Amino acid sequence: MGGYGDVQLLRDDGLRLDGRKIDEMRPVAIEAGVLPAADGSAMVTHGLNVAVAAVYGPMEAHPRKIQRQDRAVIDVRYNMAPFSTSDRIRPGYNRRSREISKVTAEALESVVLVERYPRSKIRVEIEILAAEAGTRCVGITAAAVALADAGIPMRDLIVGVASGKVEDTVVLDLDKAEDNYGQADLPVGILPNTGEIAFLQMDGDLSPDEFNLAMEYNFKAAAEIHEIMVDALKRRYEGGEN
């Protein structure tokens, strides 16, 4: 029993509360081009999480003081809708959304070829419509598909995925109960083609062996999600022959 209180997170048969195996991911569905007004957009459903990302630009960066002479700036706004959780969230920016916006922007900056658009801005809006743990990872995945849909040049499609520890067991893709009452959470942004890591955060403690196992789960899940991302982008333009 880990975390806070006497919450049992693993069943006696070794499965998790929602019936998944410890290295099993929640179902993922991705659709590209869901918002006609945006230059690129995507909707990602990951378990009970629903995230919509919209990309606008590249455009002239305003105010001019934010311009970088040698590259574009990526302006990310992550927001959870007031109705995304069972307890209504007060609308607007808060400390958590600022932090997630910042780490998401830094993760995306490492894959987008920002030097192609000096002095400009790429605006990425991530709206979480329904939340069930792991929204920052779902937001990053949605943003990556939306950026590709917008034709922004990138080195790879970044995938957001998380593992963690519950009841001294490393598990893949924490759900809400596991996130709230588990012992550790390890969200990462992975570039599946090169195996590079664009962002990594850790909440809680993991031993080196547990960390390695969690990363192994993350890489495995990232490869699966990457396939779904590619499939979503190809599906959007199927039938086209240029």
Partner 1 sequence: MSNGQNGAELRLVTPGMAIGPVAGKRVGSGAIAQNDTIIATRLGWTKEFNNTVSVDPINSAYMPRSGDLIVAVVAEVRNNLWFMNINGPFQGLLPMSLAPWKVEFGAARQHMGIGDVVLARVQEVDECHNVVLTMKGVGLRRLNQGTVVNVPINHIDRLRGEGNATVQRLRDASDSRIIIGENGRVWIDGDAEGTAWARQAVALTQASGHKTTFEAELSALEQNAPKKGDA
Applying CB under 8 A, the residues found at the interface with partner 1 are 39-40, 57-60, 69, 72, 111, 113, 117-120, 148-157, 191-194, 229-230, 233-234, 237, 239-242
Task: Quote the least distance from Cβ 153 to partner 1, whole Å.
Answer: 4
**Which is closer to partner 1, CB of 58 or CB of 164?**
58
Structure tokens belonging to residue 225: 């999600």
Query: Considering only CA atoms, which of 66, 73, 22, 26 is closest in space to residue 45?
Result: 26
- Interatomic CA distance for residues 188 and 162, integer angstroms: 6
Task: Quote the least distance from Cβ 161 to partner 1, whole Å.
Answer: 16
**Which is closer to partner 1, CB of 14 or CB of 240?**
240
Q: Is the dihedral of CA 225, 227, 233, 236 positive or negative?
A: negative
DSSP character string of 50-97 = EEEEEEEEEEE-SSGGG-BTTB-EEEEEEEE-TTSSSSPPPSS--HHH
**Which is closer to partner 1, CB of 22 or CB of 68?**
68
Task: Quote the least distance from Cβ 137 to partner 1, whole Å.
Answer: 18
- Interatomic CA distance for residues 158 and 154, integer angstroms: 9
The dihedrals phi and psi of 219, each to the nearest 5 degrees, come to -65, -40
**Which is closer to partner 1, CB of 77 or CB of 119?**
119
Task: Quote the least distance from Cβ 239 to partner 1, whole Å.
Answer: 5
For residues 154-190, b (16+ Cβ closer than 10 Å) or e, as one string? bebbbbbbbbbbbbebbbbbbbbbbbebbbbbbbbbb
Amino acid identity for residue 71 in this structure: R
Task: Quote the least distance from Cβ 191 to partner 1, whole Å.
Answer: 7
**Which is closer to partner 1, CB of 47 or CB of 58?**
58
Task: Quote the least distance from Cβ 64 to partner 1, whole Å.
Answer: 10
Question: For residues 74 and 102, is the Cβ–Cβ distance under 8 A?
Answer: no
**Which is closer to partner 1, CB of 131 or CB of 144?**
144
Query: Considering only CA atoms, which of 140, 112, 156 is closest in space to residue 201?
Result: 140
